[in-house]
Structure 1
Amino acid sequence: MRTHAERMLDVRTIFHEPGIDRFARGAEVLARFPDAERVEVLSHQAIPALHGNAGAVADWVRNKREVLVLGEKKSLAARPNGRSTDFIAPSTSNGCAMACSYCYVPRRKGYANPITVFVNIERILGYLERHAGRQGPKTEPNQVDPVDWVYDLGENGDCSVDALVSDNVRDLVDLFARLPGARGSFATKFVNRDLLTWDPRGGTRVRFSLMPEEQSKVLDLRTSRIAERIAAIDDFVEAGYEVHLNFSPVVVHEGWLAQWDELLQQVADGVGQRARAQLACEIIFLTHNEQLHEVNLGWHPRGEDQLWRPDLQQPKVSQSGQRNVRYRTGWKGRWVGQLTDLVEQRLPGCRVRYAF
């Protein structure tokens, strides 16, 4: 029987920028998939067969499983965040092999969203080390972390899956294992036990994303089962990671709070005292998008029955001009309070870092 990782990726086509093998990481990834067809493209951001090709909707999952993109990250910047982390680190990848139907990344990439690996990892690591060094000690605790400056490492993908493709994530974990006053952080829906053999030395925070199992079966396509994620928490803490929970997205429907009650009890029953002592969480209610809704109707309409609820949602134009929808003002505040109270009841001592 094939492992979850083997089912996740069967790379048959690699789109790559010119001369990508001049980078050691690029050569390594190409060698990892020797039988894949190689297609040279001018830019990882403009691949006609993927981006803007409406016909690719029908191959949504196949592209994620069989296509890989290699490129160079040209612009490096650590953007202030303040919610989940202090800064968002320059991406070492973009896209994902999983197929969560609420994911916001495809809004920017068009009709296909496979993994893009950025191969100039040495430049990215150097930038992060210099940036962290310039911050100096964190003088005031905040809800992100009381001591360290925290960097989000996986804004546009899932680091646990990225680690199946290249050593970029291991290089990041190694960097933050030795950087004083700085910590890496990423959210994940995939249990990659290879990460347990690394030596993070407390420098990386893994945020396991959780939602009720019945919803996950419909919305979290190609991810690890919820029970498997909960079962991994103790192991990751034992391996030297800090582990938090990411209750996201919270999707409201009839009976939603009872499902979350059951999930929180699963966590309470499945996590040991050492993990519980360092546990914290963040709660993020669903924000959906009109364009993504239309795309999803082309490949996974069943998920939209839960995600697209005009009776519960109101429009919101984002800072980038995107037409999003979120739960109605007034109702959402009440629901946030209900779930926050439930976390306090079922997981006493688990700090809610933020909820919105």
Structure 2
Amino acid sequence: MRVQRLVAALLVALVAGCGPAVAATDDRVPPFRPAPPRPYAVGVRHFVVDPDGSRPLPVTVWYPAEPAAPAEPAIGLTAGPTGAEAASGPTGSGTTARPDVPVAAGRFPVVVYSHGLHSLPDLHAPLTTRWAAAGFVVAAPTYPRTSLRARDFTRADVRNQPADGWRLIRHLVRLDARPGDPLAGHLAVDRFAAAGHSAGGFTTAGMFTSGHSRRLRAGIVIAGGGLAGSFAGPVAPVLFVHGGADPIVPDSVGRAAYARSVGPAAFLGLPGQGHGEYLTPGRPGFAQVLAATTDFLRWTLYDDRRARDRLPADAVLPGVTTLTTRALPVGR
């Protein structure tokens, strides 16, 4: 009930607006190869953006590492305590990630992943490590005033998090050009997506405001909704994922955000499900959410039309998931 009250208050607080999304400059970068045909091993590293500033931002980065797996990546299904969203968020571990191993050859698109209230990036590893294995660098900030470790928790600070997301994007663009950094030359800095769960979904929506950089090509809003000013500026496809019986962020909030979004969009519904149990490996809907989000990222960030065309079939399991689309150019 505590988290339900927190998020209910958050929904009220956020209608007033959010911090501006500061665009990054759009520099040209060398082309990168098509979507990888096989999964990678996964590495992980940590750093802090602006460690001496007023809002230091610890970041966990999962990334493709060599060697590429010959078949499906190894999946660890050991469950652990979530601590996130009062046990209504994701649990378990994802593909095994090795600290600070070399990045795989090539450039990879980047996904900025935002956690929810009282959560942490590591609690979303079942999803983020699998995206990394599929050929994406996933950079997940620990927000200073809404995370599980926040010393001064303030739910209304979510309105400032879209600007944090853009601060991270600018940092990654600089890092890609920094000689000697392990990620230098490996980031497709013209191809970013934003994704997040619950309050992180609202953060994601808030990054798509008027004047946002065209670097941000796609969004995934999981169990979240829109902030004031969201879904403006350059058109970018957005995928919404929402439990039909979500007691914390009602399904109607996600559907209203879907209706407000512009351009290609899809709404992956999970009838009868709550706030995030479908993000746990082995639970109903997890396979469909993983497949649909991976297809969506491969389409929007790798221009993989085959992934786009198979998304509807991958997303839907009768009795478990439903899919509504708008202007999704499947089969064209």
Query: How does the TM-score come out when normalised to structure 1?
Result: 0.34
More helix by share: 1
> TM-score, structure 2 length as denominator?
0.35
**Which of structures 1 and 2 has the bigger CA Rg?**
1
